[in-house]
Amino acid sequence: MKEWHIHNQDYFHTLLLEHVTFLKGNKQIWNFLLDDLQQYFSNKATPLKIYQDATLLPRNDFSFIAFSPNEDFDSKALQQIMKTQKKQFLNTLTFSPFYKALADSWEELIEEVEFLNNQNSSASLNFSLLPFDRDWVAKNLVFSEKSYLNLSNFRKILFQLETLETTVEGKQQIICIVNPEKFLTNAELSRFYDYLEKNPNGKHYLIITESNLAAATNVFYNDTIRNKLDCFKVKNKLMKDFPANWDNQQFSIACNWYISLVDKYRDETVFLDLETVDNLETFIYLYSLFILTSTPLIVDLARIPSSLRKYFENLLLDTL
């Protein structure tokens, strides 16, 4: 688990990164951030700075690719990579003895055309054969889509992913997959997520998704990225003031509830009452986390004992 602190002139965000990181919430804002990340890692001029913990992230050490899975293989990222793959394939092909034999035979055919022209009684009717051209071979060297189109969508996305992953050597790869749920069924999506989680290849996968099949790692809520780091940062403060015996397991449960609720409400305001969690102890941890992290919410304390209400009032005053 890593922390990225992203600084720009207009914003500051902290991302929690895992091997597979799910980004949920306001899709438009994620797309803006995605554009900024692409500029940063492509070495374009940008005011953006990314720190991993307290160290500036060296952009030259990373390859950042974003793509949207699709049936027709027309993603810009994939097209660019296929162009590179084709160039490499053609370079290999030119070393083939058959390629050299074809070029030599073509030269002989040019000479044969000249010979026939000389034999032609009509001096005004001459033909010429253009020289053998590598570009002509390249133009007619095409990706065979037949076998690809016969694949299931799950196999197609794996093929696309493997194509992207084999393009860069010597750099850490970050691959951002945008809305795979538009391409895969729920069953395929679960299988795909499981494949990524169990594929420890040193790569990082960022997945922008609106699917509820994945537990959120980072959620845009109320124009702020929320993640479990928010909870961990206030843990010591919460332990110090907590009105009951501390329980790390209950704290962990409350952190999961925190992320689950901001993911559920996203563009609305979280509503919290005792029935939300149906457990008073969990409610104390959870509401305390919302207070200490300054996360907006609407809360109903009608069924909460008065002694605990006083605790929450004091906690709110401490945050002012």
The Cα 160–Cα 189 span in angstroms is 15
Q: Which of 13-17, 24-28, 166-170, 251-255 has the highest mean pLDDT?
A: 251-255
Q: Residue 199's CB: how many other CB atoms inside 10 A?
A: 14
Band (pLDDT 50/70/90 cuts) for residue 163 is: confident
Residue 74 has pLDDT above 60, yes or no: no
**Range(s) within the chain of domains with CATH label 3.40.50:** 2-73+152-208
Q: Determine the Cα–Cα distance for residues 224 and 121; give it in Å rounded to an integer.
A: 84
CA distance 261 to 12: 23
208 bridge partner residues: 23, 178
* Model confidence pLDDT, tens digit, residues 89-119: 899 999 999 999 999 999 999 999 989 888 8
Average pLDDT rounded to a whole number, residues 14-28: 91
Nearest alpha-carbon partner for 274 in 258, 286, 260: 286
Determine the Cα–Cα distance for residues 69 and 146; give it in Å rounded to an integer. Answer: 18
What would the DSSP string read from start to end of 246-289?
A: --HHHHHHHHHHHHHHHHHHTTS-EEE-HHHHT-HHHHHHHHHH
More confident residue, 166 or 73: 166
Q: What is the pLDDT of residue 71?
A: 61
User: Could you tell me the two tokens for 112?
Assistant: 């044969």
**What pLDDT sits at residue 238?**
96
pTM for the whole thing? 0.80
With contact defined as beta carbons under 8 Å apart, do 204 and 173 qualify? yes
CATH entry 2.60.40 includes domain 2-73+152-208: no
pLDDT score recorded for residue 123: 66
Reference 2, options 217, 197, 194; nearest CA is 217
How many degrees, rounded to 5, is the angle at CA 60 between CA 56 and CA 62?
90
The rounded percent of the chain whose pLDDT value lies above 70 is: 96
Across 157-185, average pLDDT: 86
